[in-house]
Structure 1
């Protein structure tokens, strides 16, 4: 098998960066909002909350797709100068944040600024108006962005710097930078907003970050090439995708019992459903050997109970708050699979170029 061009990880020997083309998607019927508030140092006030609900995809081609949940149509395309890797909506549904990796000056290099060590940033947009509220500089190669449930902080992993940046959500000010393991990538934060579980792709560990002390509390050895994590609401069960092992690691936090469940080829993101019953795993594979499925793992029995066909290069996954639908980004065909979890029917829609991260309003 050829080496995989995987995301944001210049340190791996078996996996290299998957940051393909640049440029925006020109889908017909899509309204476009430019990155006009490159009001880069000014904070813009948040608009009123709309009754509409949306999900968003982070597209590495340089856009963010905003899709209406009601009709699954793209409502707006937000442009950004760089590679948009991950995206998340704030707990109150007012703000959407996205990580932005800069492109090399004067070129469209695959590594998105990796060669010249340019710091990345986090973009904060108003969900209602689509306006850029703030652009905050963070470390090199920002990967995932996550809000704490209490709305106090925003955390960002800096893949190349081996750190996590903590931003105060209200002021957009950087509070501190915390050392992690090598190659920090995807992560989730406990429901009580106290602990962040960060997958370190380059050293096969998960950093447990204490947000009271703002320090790494410990590291968990989890398996080969951990990509993202999920944590149950009670804080007792940690799920970690292991890209190289084609497996999901399930860890009992209290007893340290560990079970590896075989899933599809090259699992990327994992999302634990609102009832803490299932872990939904998007199986990406590689560009040379793409996968196209979502595995559903029962967290109690620790086995795969279903596998649903998606599109090529399934990467990001989220579940609706009522647990009726799953939404999966398909990186290698610029689409999202919308899966009815009752009927198992799959609807496919087009979004921006190289959709990666995904988030949905609660």
Structure 2
């Protein structure tokens, strides 16, 4: 790891967002929308998440170019599966200090680690292993894998309930979301959602689950109790989805493919179950997150190496930030 552009200003301005890139992480000042620093990492950083206390970031690292064009429908998601059987020695989760950018710990888990999410109580970090069809549960006190839990085929994006009890795993190579009980440390059921689910989201009350359906160009909205699924058409090749903190809107990044990229973000009203805005961003919109005050949306544009910053009230892009190569996941303090 090497660092650039160190600046004492950081101590006075702790608000940053981070993008997962090929070869490292970009750290962007959330007030100025300028790249403040970068962390160089060997391999491709597929996903990045901030811990609930904002003190560390967790990342997943895959070898070479793995995973960045993996959400373009059936052919591409099969590429994820093919990748999983090799290169595992260079694939891992890692944790960095969010303030100093220093490496805290690297953890070896399964093949082709995809997404990483912390429980809200900061007890665990959960990592999906696309190549092994399971998740690794990492104890955040010891940084050891304390359990490996089987999932469906091709586990990818996940979110964890606000009470830290349930993880919802999108299984890209089938049509389900695995429901993982983190108390019992096992998969309790699968919910059928639709074709090629890539990522999930769960409302604060735990009643509504969402999942992007890459091959259906739709967002599945699921009543958790009844497992009834409603589908809302979004843009082409949706990748990540993020539910803002008041649970009013779900934001969907529409990636498309490298040969036929999409360049939009879809704003879905979760109560009305309908699209209320479509916003043009950069090519290959992939990772997406909202600020905690629900004023801004940040989306990584993989094929433009940029982040679009959207004003939520105006439903328009207010600035574009150049970041690292092939930006994928994104997280904000």
- Deviation of 1:51 after TM superposition, in Å, equals 4.6
Q: Which runs of 4+ in 1 moved over 3 A?
A: 48-51, 110-115
Instruction: Confirm or deny that 1:342 pairs with 2:282.
Output: no
Pick closer, same or farther for the CA change 1:181–1:233 going to 2, 3 Å. same
Q: Which runs of 5+ in 1 are unaligned?
A: 1-23, 25-29, 34-47, 105-109
Preserved CA contact (<8 Å) 1:101 1:113: no
Q: How does 1:21-170 map to 2 (within 5 A)?
A: 31=4, 51-59=13-21, 61-103=22-64, 114=84, 116-119=86-89, 120-170=91-141
Q: Which runs of 5+ in 2 are unaligned?
A: 66-78
Q: Partners in 1 of 2:139 and 2:229 — Cα distance?
A: 34
- Greater per-residue helix proportion: 2
Structure 2 residue aligned with 1:358: 330
Q: How does 1:1-362 map to 2 (within 5 A)?
A: 31=4, 51-59=13-21, 61-103=22-64, 114=84, 116-119=86-89, 120-346=91-317, 347-361=319-333
- Normalization by structure 2: what TM-score? 0.90
Q: Partners in 2 of 1:156 and 1:355 — Cα distance?
A: 19
Preserved CA contact (<8 Å) 2:160 2:167: yes
3-state DSSP of counterpart to 2:110: strand
- Deviation of 1:116 after TM superposition, in Å, equals 2.8
Computed over aligned residues only, the root mean square deviation of the Cα atoms, in angstroms, reads 2.0
Q: Partners in 1 of 2:145 and 2:316 — Cα distance?
A: 43
- Normalization by structure 1: what TM-score? 0.83
Aligned pairs, how many?
A: 313
Q: Partners in 1 of 2:16 and 2:87 — Cα distance?
A: 34
- Deviation of 1:343 after TM superposition, in Å, equals 2.4
Preserved CA contact (<8 Å) 2:279 2:316: no
Q: Partners in 2 of 1:316 and 1:176 — Cα distance?
A: 27
Preserved CA contact (<8 Å) 2:15 2:29: yes
Preserved CA contact (<8 Å) 1:297 1:303: yes
1:106-131 CA distances to partner (integer Å, 9 max, x unpaired)?
Answer: xxxx9896463424211110111111
1:266-320 CA distances to partner (integer Å, 9 max, x unpaired)?
Answer: 0000000111111000000111110000000011111100000100000010000
Preserved CA contact (<8 Å) 1:49 1:94: no
Q: Partners in 1 of 2:106 and 2:250 — Cα distance?
A: 33
Q: Partners in 1 of 2:85 and 2:228 — Cα distance?
A: 40
Most deviating of 250-259 and 210-219: 250-259
1:231-262 CA distances to partner (integer Å, 9 max, x unpaired)?
Answer: 00000000000000000000011122210000
